[in-house]
Chains A and B, each alone.
Chain A
Amino acid sequence: MLRIFLLSLIGLAFNFQILAQCCAAGNPSSDGGSLGLPKNSLSLSASFIHSYSDTYFIGNQVSDENYWKSSKFDFSLVAINYGLTEKIQISTEIGYFIDKMNHNLVAISDTIINKKASGLGDATIGIQYHLFSNKQQMLNIAPMVKLTLPVGQFDQMDGNIVLPIDIQPSSGSYKLNTSLLITKGFFGSKFSASSFLSAEFSQEINTDRTNHKYGNLYTASFNVNHKTSDKLSTGLGLNYQHRKKAINSGNIIEASGGTYIRVQPKISYYLKNNYSINTAINIPIYRYVNDYQLTNKYNFVFGINKSFDLKSMKSQVDYNILEALNEQTLFVDGICGMCKDRIETIAYKVKNIKWAEWDLESKSLLLKYEKEFDLNKLARKLSKAGHDNAILKAEDQAYNNLHSCCKYRSINNH
């Protein structure tokens, strides 16, 4: 049931985008995110990103000059999201470079010179607040604050050479990222649009070796998603990214920073047991770099996600004890995972109810209790929340306040 709920949310807000840059230290910049998980839900995801760069630009024109022949990386990211409350989601992620390489210094023709590194990149911790939600209009606004921690080794070596900043797996810098995610559903959440705005500010690195500050990064993206079927979601994203110039030892690095506009087709497929797989490709359609720089040609993202309902898991642990309790069932109308979550949450708030499980097929709410509980009170609470039940029918106003995907009467009438 959770899967259906998550599917509807992710379908609304899915924004799986990691923008891979060449020649920059630390994790590729991520752009987007999903809307808040239900309370007590946990989402684990693992992603693989391959990025390739082979063309030098000067301004927005391809340059004939060459320094490195190409640059590439293979990167993996593990992320955990947890619904702390109905409005607050916390998240953490950690990145690992399987391989990061600048390939073949062109001017040195008698031998192929590569620079390569691998290892831990950066970690992040973030908090997202579900600031505004209008269920009828399917409009959601969620700001997020994320802190990047440079957990990986910043002075990694290749042989007896300490690698330069641009190829280090870790950025070596703390970063603060503030963002805003706006999502809007259309046609009963069949289509959704989302917009993501973010600004990232880096702390100045001040070590014996370097005094360096990455340019601030500003991102704006717009995505359209289509819930093609119950299991398949397809989408297209357009992303604008602008990075300011970096500063090294008090001097502006002229050949740093620039502007990219990328398109991103993407597909998500939902499997059994709350698994989903996601894939996307980022292709630049406009590149402008300050001075002369190697630019990203494409990057490819593949990820797998698994969601858990921790409340249910906790209940399973107590299953033997629950067997001995008294049982009662109540017919409660509803249609989806979100209904299930709401109905069970309401039931748990009624005194003496130890266990509540609503079944989508039979619309039956199974209740387990040790001491008598107030069934009429439960029925009133359910009807106030918009759910018709065997004792009380919900007022129209309460029903109309339900989320669009919870409108069970329109389905029942067909």
Chain B
Amino acid sequence: MKSILFSFAILALASFSSCEKEDTSSNVQTEFPVIDSLVANTIRVQAGGEEPAILNCYATGGDLDYVWEVDLGDLFTTNGSGSEVQYTASACCLGEREITCTVSNNKGDVSESIVITIN
């Protein structure tokens, strides 16, 4: 019985220690994020999704998170950091669509927008 209890205690300890999140952020020097540029390979996209616009957000500040938003149409990320996305839309979304990228870290956040026309 004692050995069973001991095993449970060891397992519980192991689980607790494995649940601890490794804090890597403290090792990264961060500054308030700055977006150097938000660029697209094209500002006009044909509805239907065949040739999406590729958007890149170039930012500095360290340990950055990227959040993209647009009210109509579809964005999807194409790289691991999230700094590059593709944007396309169906006929639902004809016209000018404003895409916003928000970059943040533990010092704050900053946003930049770009307009892509769906036709």
Contact = CB atoms under 8 A, between A and B. Distances in A.
A313 interface: no
Contacts of A310: none
Interface residues of B, number: 28
Give the interface residue-count category, chain A.
Answer: 20 to 34
Interface stretch (A161-169, A258-266, A350-358, A375-383): A161-169
Given A105-B49, A160-B66, A165 B71 contact: yes
A291 B68 contact: no
A291 B47 CA distance: 13
Nearest to A211: B71
A253 B52 contact: no
A254 B94 contact: yes
Contacts of A161: 67-69, 75-77, 85
A160 B100 CA distance: 12
A251 interface: yes
Given A253-B92, A255-B92, A164 B74 contact: yes
A108 B72 CA distance: 18
Interface string A253-289: 1111000000000000000000000000000000000
Interface in B37-94: 48-50, 52, 65-77, 82, 85-86, 88, 90-94
Contacts of B66: 160
B74 to A, nearest CB: 6
A108 B52 contact: yes
A57 to B, nearest CB: 11
Contacts of A293: 91-92
Interface of A: 23, 65, 67-68, 102, 105-108, 113, 115, 155, 157, 159-162, 164-166, 209-210, 212, 248, 251, 253-256, 291-294
Given A160-B67, A209-B71, 20 more contacts: A23-B92, A68-B90, A107-B50, A108-B76, A159-B82, A161-B77, A162-B68, A164-B71, A164-B74, A165-B71, A166-B72, A209-B69, A248-B71, A248-B95, A253-B92, A255-B91, A255-B94, A293-B91, A293-B92, A294-B90
15 contacts: A67-B49, A102-B74, A105-B88, A107-B49, A107-B88, A161-B68, A161-B77, A161-B85, A164-B70, A164-B73, A165-B71, A248-B72, A253-B72, A253-B93, A292-B91
